[in-house]
Amino acid sequence: MPFANDHAESLAERLEQGEILTFNPCPFGLPGEYDRAFLLAQRPGGRIHKDITFNPDRESTTGYVLKSVAQAARLHGILRGFAQASADWLSRLFPRYAARWQLDRVSFHTEEEATRKLRLTARNDLLHVDAFPSRPTRGRRILRLFVNINPTDPRVWATSITLDKVFERHGRQLGLTDLRSHRWAWRLGQGLLNLFQPGAAQRTPYDSFMLRLHRFLKTSDNFQERSPRRLWYLPSGSAWLLFSDGVCHADLRGQYAIDQSFFIPQDALALPDASPFALFNRACKSAILSQAA
């Protein structure tokens, strides 16, 4: 099924090759004044929750300090409304994506990224590509739509090299040239996932590799200090869109943003051969051929 028009196809190709698309102001309706003030007053709850999260599959909102039943219902309704509004707008912009996507979670980021204290691999202010430990993609791409709802301040991002360049420069360190050495780690990781999250989707070798890549980038001082960077100043009320599994990015500064994630399957992409899954498969084939030689 083709994209709706040449403009939509061009935008999709730009996204899939690692660009960020920005929109100022946000092109769909956001929570009103009173609902936004209510949102800004919420705080995350519990050590295991990094952000406040709405899960459309379970119709649940978690990760916040519960004060009353009325508060819980209002928060759930606002985040659910954001999920619906963002998906409606994006489905009009990219109908081919929408025909095949799976809606993932909405995250409300309440804390200042520059000062929050998180373990190293959970930090957002370090350059990384996205991989979700509890939600394996099984080859689908991760499309994320962000909105800065801070009333005054911009959100500051950095982007760096795209995934194909990461593969070229760091593939050997990540085990792409010797896949057999990491087979035991994938089997162990899948066993632990099933133990602690029974019923969770099976993690494929691709998912395990992307998690390893995510952690490698965040823990590599060389990568963090020497990689080229482009800074983005994203104003209050603006939105931005990217395939967060394909471009190294960091959320350097800002408080109060909402994002919605979407899983896009290979057969809905404009450039499936440029996807992380395709890059991984080509690297696997190359490693197998070199080991057989």
pLDDT of 240 over the 90 cut: yes
Reported as a single tens digit per residue, the pLDDT across 124-182 is: 999 999 999 989 999 999 999 999 999 999 999 999 999 999 988 887 787 765 555 44
pLDDT at 33: 96
CA 118 remoteness from chain centre:
18
**Enclosing domain of residue 167:** 6-292
- In this structure, are strands 52-55 and 60-62 parallel, antiparallel, or unpaired? antiparallel
| Total number of domains constituting the chain | 1
Q: What is the helix (H) or strand (E) element at residue 102, kind and residue range?
A: strand 102-109
Instruction: Look at residue 161 and tell me if it is in a domain.
Output: yes
Reported as a single tens digit per residue, the pLDDT across 62-120 is: 999 999 999 999 999 999 999 999 999 999 999 999 999 999 999 999 999 999 989 99
pLDDT at 170: 84
How many Å is the maximal CA-CA distance in the chain?
Answer: 66
CA distances from 156 to 69, 164, 240 (A): 35, 24, 12
Rounded CA-CA distance 15/277 in Å is 16
**Crossing angle between the packed helical segments 183-196 and 205-219, to the nearest 10 degrees:** 100
Rounded CA-CA distance 69/197 in Å is 28
Instruction: Look at residue 264 and tell me if it is in a domain.
Output: yes
The answer to whether 113 and 124 are in contact (CB under 8 A) is yes
**Residue 237 has which token pair?**
């009320």
pLDDT at 37: 97
Instruction: Look at residue 17 and tell me if it is in a domain.
Output: yes
Task: Locate all alpha helices (DSSP H) within the chain, ordered by sequence.
Answer: 6-16, 33-40, 69-93, 95-100, 163-170, 183-196, 205-219, 221-226, 276-292
Instruction: Look at residue 64 and tell me if it is in a domain.
Output: yes
Average pLDDT over residues 223-227: 95
DSSP tag of 57: T
Task: Compute how many other C-beta atoms are within 10 angstroms of the C-beta atom of residue 216.
Answer: 17
User: In the chain, pLDDT over 90 holds for what percent of residues?
Assistant: 74
Give the type of residue at 234.
L
Instruction: Look at residue 37 and tell me if it is in a domain.
Output: yes
Residue corresponding to tokens 């109908």: 95
pLDDT at 7: 82
CATH number at residue 280: 2.60.120
Q: Which of 151, 154, 153, 157 is CA-nearest to residue 39?
A: 151
Taken as a whole, the chain contains a residue count of 293
**Residue 265 has which token pair?**
């399957």
Instruction: Look at residue 213 and tell me if it is in a domain.
Output: yes
Q: Please tell me the least confidently modeled range out of 30-34, 67-71, 289-293.
A: 289-293
pLDDT at 292: 57
pLDDT of 197 over the 90 cut: no
State the pLDDT confidence band at 25, using cuts at 50, 70 and 90: very high
Instruction: Look at residue 1 and tell me if it is in a domain.
Output: no
Q: 3-state class of 19 per DSSP?
A: coil
Q: What is the helix (H) or strand (E) element at residue 250, kind and residue range?
A: strand 247-253
pLDDT at 194: 47
pLDDT at 282: 87
CA distances from 182 to 96, 173, 174, 193, 284 (A): 36, 12, 9, 17, 12
CA dihedral 103, 55, 107, 115 (to 10 degrees): -140
**Residue 43 has which token pair?**
């705080």
Average pLDDT over residues 234-253: 98
pLDDT at 288: 64
Instruction: Look at residue 257 and tell me if it is in a domain.
Output: yes
State the pLDDT confidence band at 293, using cuts at 50, 70 and 90: low
Average pLDDT over residues 249-269: 98
Reported as a single tens digit per residue, the pLDDT across 264-289 is: 999 999 999 999 999 998 887 776 66
pLDDT at 191: 47
pLDDT at 75: 98
